[in-house]
Amino acid sequence: MPETSELRRMDLISQNDAERLKLVLDVTSDGIFDWLIPENEIFLSPALKESWGLNENIGGQASIDYWKSRIHQDHRDMVFSQLQKHLDGKGPFNVDYLFLTKLGAYRWFNSRSIVIFNDRGKPLRMVCSVHDIDNHKKAEELIRNLTHQLIKSQEIERRKISWELHDRVAQDLSEATIECELLMKNHLLPLEIRQHISTISEMLLTTLMVVRDLSYELKPPGLEKLDLVGTLHEYCRQFSEKYGINVTFRFGEINELRLSLDMKINLYRLIQEGLNNVRKHANASHATIKLISSSGTISLLIKDNGVGFNLKKQEARSANGTNMGLKNMSERVRLLQGKMDIQSAPGKGTKILIEIPYSKG
């Protein structure tokens, strides 16, 4: 039990704290509210009063219910279920939501808070910041749209180049090899010349194979026929065969989803870049691709048992470097509103885990 002088000291401290908080609320240009939970009283910073339109008295009183009533109905449940978890001491409160401003238009806001609990874990007080992040959200959306356009036109360009390579360059090369064969069989030509022609023919055949591979890499042939799993099976099989790296491909519940061509191309490109890195850098004997859908999330795992790498050093290098693969992968994932996590260390192989939210609707 604290002594009287101690109680007096604590009282002074809390008075000082209250005054300090009031001063902060008055001077800050940020939106902040202070909610005394048992009393259900709420104090707003002047900036928040202004942004909620309470200075002009547009028909509301500062209260949690008023705040709730102006949150967009699509976001209300999400905000309040997070808030409840927070008040139960089960997690942070950090939410983005649309809020009806005094001008009658919805704008994006972000709120974070700190809660003070009593020693039995009951919430007593919550101080919450309310930031207008509308411009930031709009800029993000613009960047997302532009990146989407960029990736789309990249795909169109790739398809065009693939078509040119396949239907024109490969065609011409194969005609040239036929010509060479005819010449090689022409015994009127001196042997030495025919041997030269044979060498040229071999070079042409190698180039033909490279061009066919390039054309295949640029345009995954099965995807347009809507078969992602089949195309990936074939891709992994050919990859194993060509580079001698054993690839295990596992999938679950992917066929049941009706994925858009866009989504299929994105998943295919992520796996393609992941495996290309395994081939170029990992010196691995085995790689695993797992593509699984469950509870509204598509999870993709790309794993190898190779040499691994130092993530921090790589990030520092790629900040000014020309390596684009991992950056492109994370850009694609961001565009799909997903998360990408890379785990790697020298000698420990590499694991890339991607999670993309997916709704059937």
Ligand X SMILES: Nc1ncnc2c1ncn2[C@@H]1O[C@H](COP(=O)(O)OP(=O)(O)OP(=O)(O)O)[C@@H](O)[C@H]1O
Interface ranges with ligand X (CB under 6 A)? 277-278, 280-282, 304, 306-309, 314, 318, 323-327, 350
Interface positions, 261-290, toward Mg ion (CB under 5 A):
277
Considering the rule CB under 5 A, would residue 60 count as an interface residue with Mg ion? no
| Beta carbon of residue 144, minimum distance to ligand X (angstroms, whole number) | 21
293 or 330: whose CB is closer to ligand X?
330
Considering the rule CB under 5 A, would residue 217 count as an interface residue with Mg ion? no
- Residue, CB closest to ligand X: 325
Contact residues for 33 (Cβ-Cβ < 8 A; gap 6+): 42, 43, 44, 45, 48, 62, 67, 127, 128, 130
110 binds, among Mg ion, ligand X, none (CB under 5 to 8 A by kind): none
- According to DSSP, the β-strands at 106-117 and 123-132 are antiparallel
60 or 325: whose CB is closer to Mg ion?
325
124 or 324: whose CB is closer to Mg ion?
324
Kind and range of the H or E run holding 135: helix 134-164
| Beta carbon of residue 313, minimum distance to Mg ion (angstroms, whole number) | 16
With contact defined as beta carbons under 8 Å apart, do 354 and 299 qualify? yes
- Residue, CB closest to Mg ion: 325
| Beta carbon of residue 336, minimum distance to ligand X (angstroms, whole number) | 19
| Beta carbon of residue 27, minimum distance to Mg ion (angstroms, whole number) | 51
How many distinct helices (H) and strands (E) make up the chain? 11, 10
304 binds, among ligand X, Mg ion, none (CB under 5 to 8 A by kind): ligand X
Residue bearing tokens 């910041």: 129
| Beta carbon of residue 44, minimum distance to Mg ion (angstroms, whole number) | 51
Q: What is the 3-state secondary structure (H, E, C) of 103-116?
A: CCCEEEEEEEEEEE
35 or 309: whose CB is closer to ligand X?
309
Phi first, then psi: give them for residue 283, nearest 5 degrees.
Answer: 55, 45
Q: Map residues 296-325 to x or -, x wherever contact with Mg ion holds by CB under 5 A.
A: -----------------------------x
Burial of 257 (0-12, 13-18, 19+ CB in 10 A): middle
Residue bearing tokens 């959306």: 141
Kind and range of the H or E run holding 59: none
Q: How far apart are CA 238 and CA 236, in angstroms?
A: 6
308 binds, among ligand X, Mg ion, none (CB under 5 to 8 A by kind): ligand X
| Beta carbon of residue 281, minimum distance to Mg ion (angstroms, whole number) | 7
| Contact set with Mg ion (CB under 5 A) | 277, 325
